[in-house]
Amino acid sequence: MSYANVASRGTPALSRVSGAYLPVSLSIFAWYCNRLTPPKSSLTETQAGDIMATITKKEIIDRIADDTGAKRILVKRVIQQFLDEIIDELGNGNRLEFRDFGVFESRIRAARVAQNPKTLEQVPVPSKRTVKFKVGRLMKERMDQESAQVDHKTGLRIEPSHDGSG
């Protein structure tokens, strides 16, 4: 493809639609260009029009390894062991509390009767275990702070003005 890329990560600025190359969603493009360190992962636009990047476990491992100077394989093992422990504890029905981050709880969803939308037939749905996550104080504050700094229509970060007007 001979078309220019958005950034050094190689994400194409153009998308092939019906045989022609057209610009991708301008809000995603603007948001991507406004980022100081664009994520390697894909960007998606939510139904509300917000921009969301999908960050993978590999990317988190790479960040931690780079920041700490630890070997990537060691960081990968620690992260995987941490995630395995969370799964085991939730599987045992335990509650996991990480101060200021949040709380994971295993819950039982009650049995119910659903309706098949095609046939309108009543279908019994058995009870099942799910995981509930309640956001902690610091994460909630950070999320509120971040959402206040983004224009959700354009996806651009809103920089505070330096003249005292807002």
pLDDT beyond 90 at 65: yes
pLDDT digits (tens, 9 = 90+) for 114-158: 999 999 999 999 999 999 999 999 988 888 887 666 665 565 666
Task: Please tell me whether residues 76 and 38 are part of one structural domain.
Answer: no
Tell me whether residue 100 is in a domain. no
Q: What is the DSSP letter of 46?
A: -
Per-residue confidence (pLDDT) for residue 20, from 0 to 100: 40
Task: Please tell me whether residues 16 and 40 are part of one structural domain.
Answer: yes
Tell me whether residue 109 is in a domain. no
pLDDT digits (tens, 9 = 90+) for 49-59: 777 788 899 99
Task: Please tell me whether residues 46 and 6 are part of one structural domain.
Answer: yes
Mean pLDDT of all residues belonging to the chain: 75
Tell me whether residue 82 is in a domain. yes
Task: Please tell me whether residues 50 and 82 are part of one structural domain.
Answer: no
Task: Please tell me whether residues 40 and 67 are part of one structural domain.
Answer: no
Q: What is the DSSP letter of 12?
A: B
Per-residue confidence (pLDDT) for residue 38, from 0 to 100: 47
Task: Please tell me whether residues 80 and 39 are part of one structural domain.
Answer: no
What would the mean pLDDT of 83-109 be, rounded to a whole number? 93
Task: Please tell me whether residues 29 and 67 are part of one structural domain.
Answer: no
pLDDT beyond 70 at 113: yes
Residue span of the structural domain in which 32 resides: 1-55+154-166
Per-residue confidence (pLDDT) for residue 151, from 0 to 100: 62
Tell me whether residue 108 is in a domain. no
Q: Dihedral sign for Cα 76, 79, 83, 39, please.
A: negative
Quote the Cα angle for 90-92-94, to 5°: 55
Among 39-53, 69-83, 91-105, 146-160, where is mean pLDDT lowest?
A: 146-160
pTM over 0.75: no
- Rounded CA separation 63/76 (Å): 11
